[in-house]
Amino acid sequence: MMVGAASAAPTLFFTSRFEPSRSVNPDSPLSTNIARQVARRRTFAIISHPDAGKTTLTEKLLLFGGAIQMAGTVKARKSGKYATSDWLEVEKQRGISVASSVMQFEYDDCVVNLLDTPGHKDFSEDTYRVLTAVDAAVMVVDAAKGVEEQTIKLLEVCRLRDTPIITFINKLDREVREPLELLDEIESILKIHCAPVTWPIGMGKRFQGVYHLLNDEVLHFVPGEEKADQEFQTLRGEAIDRLRNEFPQEFDTLDMEVELVRGAGASFEIEDFLKGKQTPVFFGSGINNFGVREILRALVDWAPPPQARAADTPAGSRYVDPAEQPFTGFVFKIQANMDPNHRDRIAFFRVCSGQYTPGMKVKQRRTNKEIKIANAVVFMANERQRSEEAYAGDIIGIHNHGQLQIGDVLTEGESLHYKGIPYFAPDLFSKPRLRDPLKSKQLQKGLRELGEEGAIQVFAPLVDSNLLLGAVGPLQFEVVEHRLKTEYGVDAMFQPAGIHTARWVTCDDAAHLAEFVKAQQMRLARDVDDNLVYLADNHVNLSLAMERWPRVKFHNTREHGQQLG
Ligand code: G4P
């Protein structure tokens, strides 16, 4: 059937706005201010491979959300042109700002929190951990390149919590790959069902826009100057026919592809999206503002507000409802060296329930100590501001001098621990070497503390007294080198360790585990929490060990503070 042939009244798009009752535990007092605030929150991150268009889309979302007035702000930061005073030196060189880590803005009565996932050379364990603090993610795919390596890794992390994913296939203004082929690739590589919501009409110079499968209308693309308030024309009925007459070949292809897509039964189902099983797919061109509004609407209308989170308590496991009165949350990232003389740090804290108010006293579960949060900040798109209130889904930055660690839970009293803030198996390993051998004690102390804080993973090999460091991105080594120098007065260099990957190992049978340790001790180490880790020289080596020791479990993540059995 020809698309747009029936000029019946368009079906309403985005009708399924999340009602609080669908997301918040029905037993919770829905009438409270907290519940209303929670229902307005949308907290998400953008995941992509470098150069797919994450920075561009971030900027356009902020522009459409009214958080910035001019394109170029985020981009300038990325390229280091943006001047501000409080950057960590390493960051300064790289042009990342603390303020761009979290960007909050309001859109259509929703409070949207966009969390940055550091990419390029800044890719680190933080990138993964940010994903533990969001309720949804937008995946940007370069339509010329398809699914790329970093996207695969990031999606795996999203899958740990079945995070709902919205897909944006970018750069349709260029000659790119066939849309059906791209969807096929996403489905087969990322193992997630695709439900196209828009479908491209042509590409490159002949890109005419997208057909909206739910609304039976065409969003007409007109290339040109990018403007913040650029509105693309929506065509229906006869207006579509006129465009069809101009571009018959593109529309014939569209008819055929839409029929195939509909025939395959890939229609959008919000429940499947919320379970992380299906992703709504949008095509567009970020740089041209095209398709950006649809992404923002999908976030506001379809992405979930904060959900109940699993936690361990002395009385057993329970789900903490975001509308519960007592304040709770966890630290998912530490930004250090705001001022190296004072070991000044900002802990990025995701609120999970209750309400933050300045000066409130909370309990740190790990140490059982009381902490007063007097000076938290929220990160607005362009500046840091004192936060007057925050609710589940919001991120606050808590100044501290090293008391807070990644994974730390703060509550208004209850002793609970949030699950799902893991350490990830490192891909990069190095051996620190001292330039001044007399500083060995300081090096051990520095590495232990930085390891506990979560800046880097530190392993003590069973048969070697030299510590090993593990990271998921090279920036982590640079940061540690810098911090060892400025905070501990240790001049160290890092040499490659010849290790490919690591796995935490456990076994139900202690005697069998002891046998494994004896046989494999050359390849084993202990992490900061004394857990046993298998260090593999290469992929084959790991596969062989797994084959030979089928009763030993090899894990590629472990929870913060968790002592594996
Ligand atoms: P990233 O954060 O994912 O690394 O990507 P970023 O937004 O920086 O985009 C990477 C490159 O792709 C940039 O070009 C950007 O302009 C371009 N780009 C983003 N969206 C689109 C699009 O819809 N169409 C086209 N044709 N290009 C797009 P660059 O040359 O690296 O930088 P610049 O010189 O444009 O700043």
Say whether pLDDT at 28 is over 60: no
Task: Give, in order, the Cα–Cα distances in Å from 390 to each of 40, 365, 395, 540.
Answer: 12, 20, 8, 48
Q: How confident is the model at residue 475 (pLDDT cuts 50, 70, 90)?
A: confident
For the chain, give the mean pLDDT: 85
Say whether pLDDT at 487 is over 90: no
Q: How far is residue 50's CA from residue 54's CA, in Å, rounded to a whole number?
A: 8
Q: How far is residue 527's CA from residue 351's CA, in Å, rounded to a whole number?
A: 28
pLDDT digits (tens, 9 = 90+) for 143-187: 999 999 999 999 999 998 999 999 999 999 999 999 999 999 999
1-29 average pLDDT score: 44
Query: 53 in a domain, yes or no?
Result: yes
Amino acid letter for position 45: A
Say whether pLDDT at 524 is over 90: yes
- The C-alpha R_g of the chain, in whole angstroms, comes to 25
- Coil/strand/helix, residue 430: strand
- Which domain range does residue 496 map to? 422-559
Q: How confident is the model at residue 18 (pLDDT cuts 50, 70, 90)?
A: very low
Q: How confident is the model at residue 126 (pLDDT cuts 50, 70, 90)?
A: confident
Per-residue tokens: 223: 């290339």
Do 320 and 387 fall within a single domain?
A: yes
Look at the chain and report how many structural domains it folds into: 3
Task: Give, in order, the Cα–Cα distances in Å from 210 to each of 38, 250, 281.
Answer: 33, 11, 12
Q: How far is residue 75's CA from residue 170's CA, in Å, rounded to a whole number?
A: 17
Per-residue tokens: 247: 């571009």
pLDDT for position 93: 44
pLDDT digits (tens, 9 = 90+) for 68-94: 665 555 555 555 433 333 334 444 444
Q: How far is residue 115's CA from residue 376's CA, in Å, rounded to a whole number?
A: 17
In this structure, of 76-85, 251-260, 278-287, 397-406, the range with the lowest mean pLDDT score is 76-85
Residue nearest to atom 24 of ligand 1 (CA): 171
Do 347 and 369 fall within a single domain?
A: yes
Query: 553 in a domain, yes or no?
Result: yes
For ligand 1, the distance from its centroid to the CA atom of residue 229, given in whole angstroms, is 20
Q: Which of 359, 385, 418 is the last residue of a domain?
A: 418
CA 397 to chain centre: 17
Residue nearest to atom 33 of ligand 1 (CA): 75
Residue nearest to atom 31 of ligand 1 (CA): 51
Name the residue among 152, 422, 373, 172 with its Cα closest to residue 285: 172
Q: How far is residue 29's CA from residue 38's CA, in Å, rounded to a whole number?
A: 12
Per-residue tokens: 338: 């705001």
In this structure, of 94-98, 244-248, 404-408, the range with the lowest mean pLDDT score is 94-98
Predicted TM-score of the model (pTM): 0.88
Q: How far apart are the first and last CA of the chain?
A: 60
Task: Give, in order, the Cα–Cα distances in Å from 20 to each of 137, 319, 483.
Answer: 20, 17, 45
Ligand 1 lining (C-beta closer than 6 Å) = 48, 50-56, 119, 170-171, 173-174, 285-288
pLDDT digits (tens, 9 = 90+) for 209-229: 999 999 999 999 987 645 555
Mutate to test the pocket of ligand 1, among 75, 283, 287 (most ligand atoms within 8 A of CB): 287
Query: 3 in a domain, yes or no?
Result: no
For ligand 1, the distance from its centroid to the CA atom of residue 52, given in whole angstroms, is 7
Q: Can you spell out the DSSP letters for 512-554?
A: HHHHHHHHHGGGEEE-TT--EEEEESSHHHHHHHHHH-TTSEE
pLDDT for position 8: 38
Kindly report the CATH number assigned to the domain that includes residue 384.
3.40.50.300
Do 318 and 251 fall within a single domain?
A: no
Query: 224 in a domain, yes or no?
Result: yes
Q: Can you spell out the DSSP letters for 384-411?
A: EEE-S-EETT-EEEEEESS---TT-EEE
444-470 average pLDDT score: 91
pLDDT for position 419: 83
pLDDT for position 392: 97
Percent of the chain with pLDDT over 70: 83
Q: How far is residue 532's CA from residue 564's CA, in Å, rounded to a whole number?
A: 8
Percent of the chain with pLDDT over 90: 63
Q: How confident is the model at residue 26 (pLDDT cuts 50, 70, 90)?
A: very low
Say whether pLDDT at 341 is over 80: no
Do 297 and 164 fall within a single domain?
A: yes
Q: Kindly give, in sequence order, each residue whose CB lies less than 8 Å from that of residue 473, ignoring residues fewer than 6 positions away.
A: 118, 121, 122, 123, 124, 125, 127, 428
Do 48 and 192 fall within a single domain?
A: yes
